[in-house]
Amino acid sequence: MNPMVPKQRLQFLAFLLIYFIVPFSACFFTLIFANYTSTAFLPEKFLILFEATRVTQDFTLFALTWAPFPIITFILFFYSLPVANYLFKKDKCNYLSEEKARHRIVHSPIIISLFGFFGWELSTILSVLRIDTLYPEAPPQSILTVTILFAFWGLFLFAFSYSATNFLNKKLIIPCVFPDGGLGKYAKGKQFSIVTKQIIFWTASTLFPIVLLIFGLLLRTNQNLFDLHQLVHNDVLFEVIAIMLFFSFIFSVTFAISLQHPLNKIEEATELIKEQKFDTRVTIFSSDELGLLGDAVNEMAEGLAERERIKDTFGRIVDPRVRDYLLSNEHSLGGKVVDATILFSDLRDFTKLSEKRTPEEVLYILNRYFQEMSNAIEIHGGFINKFIGDAILAVFGTPMPMTDHVDRAFQTALQMQKNLDLLNKQFLGEGLTELKMGIGIHTGSLLVGNIGSANRMEFTVIGDTVNTASRVEGLCKGLQKNLLITENTANLLPDVIRSRLQSEGEFELKGRESKEKIYSYPVALG
């Protein structure tokens, strides 16, 4: 068996401390200290009774006193099994067992401390009931005193156990299981609030010691516990104790509320911000760290709102998918070579049309035209690389890979013409001139990436494939066709479409030495 690495040894030690050593030690030392100090706080008659129970060696009393603790230990053992399997046999855990282990790790301090507390209180109640049965002549004051006193020791036990296990859990276990945080989804609604914790620790650190002092004073003055209410009215010392208890409780709770209330407001604000409600603001009337935290949350919300506005604006300038691609990758010059399909479209005789209209009318016509063409391109998964005057350069197959980019580009061309036909009907109804366009499609290798300088760059596609698509579109007017595709593209189209293509011959495109076979699709376009 291979020896455990130091990290695993530390986890193993932490596991033993949290689930077994600390709970047992808390119970053991609390019991020893309670017995050791009993002579200072319990009436003499009860001490005689207490000694008598030891002499009788009553098995029932012994069983009732100690039975809850091995039972609680047994329960804790099974409770800790998923955690042990996750920490030391993680490779054998499935998703559900891992989730159960994480949940228990987060809640272990509370569960362990509650088990110890209930075990202690149950042991106290059962023991006192058995003593009362064995010695019915015992004074009621003695029975009540020991019940109250040992019940308060249970609160001390709980506070000690919770503090110790919570500290060890946060220092040794949670950083290993949640190195990047993320405890929120496991802790919601099942953790003590700040006010509850403050009350628990006030009870253990303030109320309990003062109760011990009261019992000690009653013992030293031979006073009866049932006369305590009269002592509070008649003895200034007891009045001061009562007043101090009251105000210390008010101060503790008020302080806890002053922390919890703004933290709750910050939590609610962050939940709304997570839902992208960036207009959320939190108002904290405090000049301490909470006030600074509230201001930081507001600044964060303002920054996220500005970031979202920039992101939305960026998404209007370039395709949103390209925007997300750029935001999720490092910005550096260069790119990669990919196979893709380029669709290049251009309006015919638009220069003449522009000469007869005002710039406002030209912009109005272009914007409506671009909107319809953009809809057709985006529906089929392409992205518009750029608008060049009245021309559109659309790309299919990059930066988002797609296996059917040729067919998508072809279907986009048909959809663009349909949209243009509908738009022309609207233009004629408004007294405007109808538009005509040409589309060229070519498939091949191209370079996609960032070009420009280190401080200003553009995400684009470049290469012979782009130039060829542009040159093919330039043939549309001379051939009186609205859609032309190259042989590369035609060979990759489905058979049902390829069988309907018409060859337009070979053409020597501008800037190229070799000729390109061009095909048209026999559909009445425009």
pLDDT for position 91: 73
Q: Residue 208: left (phi > 0), alpha (psi -120 to 50), or beta?
A: alpha
pTM of the complete model: 0.55
Q: Which amino acid is at 415?
A: Q
Whether the CB-CB separation of 326 and 459 falls below 8 Å is answered with yes
The strand pairing partners of 505, in sequence order, are: 518
C-alpha distance from residue 218 to each of 43, 50, 146, 204, 240 (Å): 9, 19, 14, 21, 15
DSSP three-state, residue 486: strand
Model confidence pLDDT, tens digit, residues 178-188: 887 777 777 76
Most confident of 5-9, 84-88, 93-97: 84-88
What Cα–Cα distance (Å) separates residue 164 from each residue in 107, 203, 479? 14, 17, 86
pLDDT at position 246 is 86
234 within some domain: no
Paired with 386 in beta bridges are 393
Residues 332-373: tens digit of each pLDDT: 555 678 899 999 999 988 777 777 788 888 888 889 999 999
CA dihedral 286, 287, 293, 298 (to 10 degrees): 80
Q: Distance between alpha carbon 410 and the CA centroid of its chain, in Å?
A: 42
Domain edge (last residue) among 127, 149, 177: 177
At residue 180, the 3 state secondary structure works out as: coil
Boundary (domain end) residue, out of 177, 208, 243:
177
Q: What is the pLDDT of residues 215-265, one digit of tens each?
A: 766 666 666 656 666 666 666 777 777 788 888 889 888 888 888 888 888
Q: What is the 3-state secondary structure (H, E, C) of 164-188?
A: HHHHHHHHHHHHHHCCCCCCHHHHC
405 located within any domain: yes
Range with the largest mean pLDDT of 50-64, 69-83, 282-296, 488-502: 488-502
The CATH number linked to 430 is: 3.30.70.1230
In a domain, 88, yes or no: yes
Does residue 445 belong to any structural domain of this protein?
yes
Confidence check: pLDDT of 526 > 50? no
As a whole number, mean pLDDT of residues 27-54 equals 66
Which of the listed residues 160, 177, 194 is the one where a domain comes to its end?
177
SS3 of 89-121: the string is CHHHCCHHHHHHHHHHHHHHHHHHHHHHHHHHH
Query: What distance lies between CA 286 and its chain's CA centroid?
Result: 28
Q: Is the dihedral of CA 281, 287, 290, 293 positive or negative?
A: positive
User: Look-up: residue for tokens 């809850």?
Assistant: 68
Residue 387 lies in a domain: yes
Q: Averaged over 497-514, what is the pLDDT?
A: 84
- Rounded CA-CA distance 244/202 in Å is 12
Decide if pLDDT at 524 tops 60: no
Q: Is residue 291 part of a domain?
A: no
CB 446 within 8 Å of CB 469: no
Window from 161-165, 192-196, 438-442 with minimum mean pLDDT: 192-196
User: For all residues of the chain together, what is the average pLDDT?
Assistant: 80
What residue numbers bound the domain in which 158 lies?
6-177
Contact between 172 and 11 under an 8 Å Cβ cutoff? The reply is yes
**Residue 165 forms part of a structural domain:** yes
Cα distance between residue 283 and residue 298, in whole Å: 9
Q: DSSP labels for 348-387?
A: TTHHHHHHTS-HHHHHHHHHHHHHHHHHHHHHTT-EEEEE
Contact 233, 243 (CB under 8 A): no
Q: Tens of pLDDT along 254-303?
A: 888 888 888 888 888 888 888 888 888 888 877 778 888 888 888 888 88
Tokens of 225: 């516990």
Report d(CA 23, CA 148) in Å as an integer.
22
Pairing of β 391-396 and β 457-462? unpaired
Q: What percent of the chain stands above pLDDT 70?
A: 81
Average the pLDDT over 459-479 and give the result.
Answer: 87
Provide the pLDDT confidence category of residue 487 given band limits of 50, 70 and 90. very high
- How many domains is the chain partitioned into structurally? 2
* Alpha-carbon gap, residue 426 to 422, rounded angstroms: 7
320 falls within a domain = no
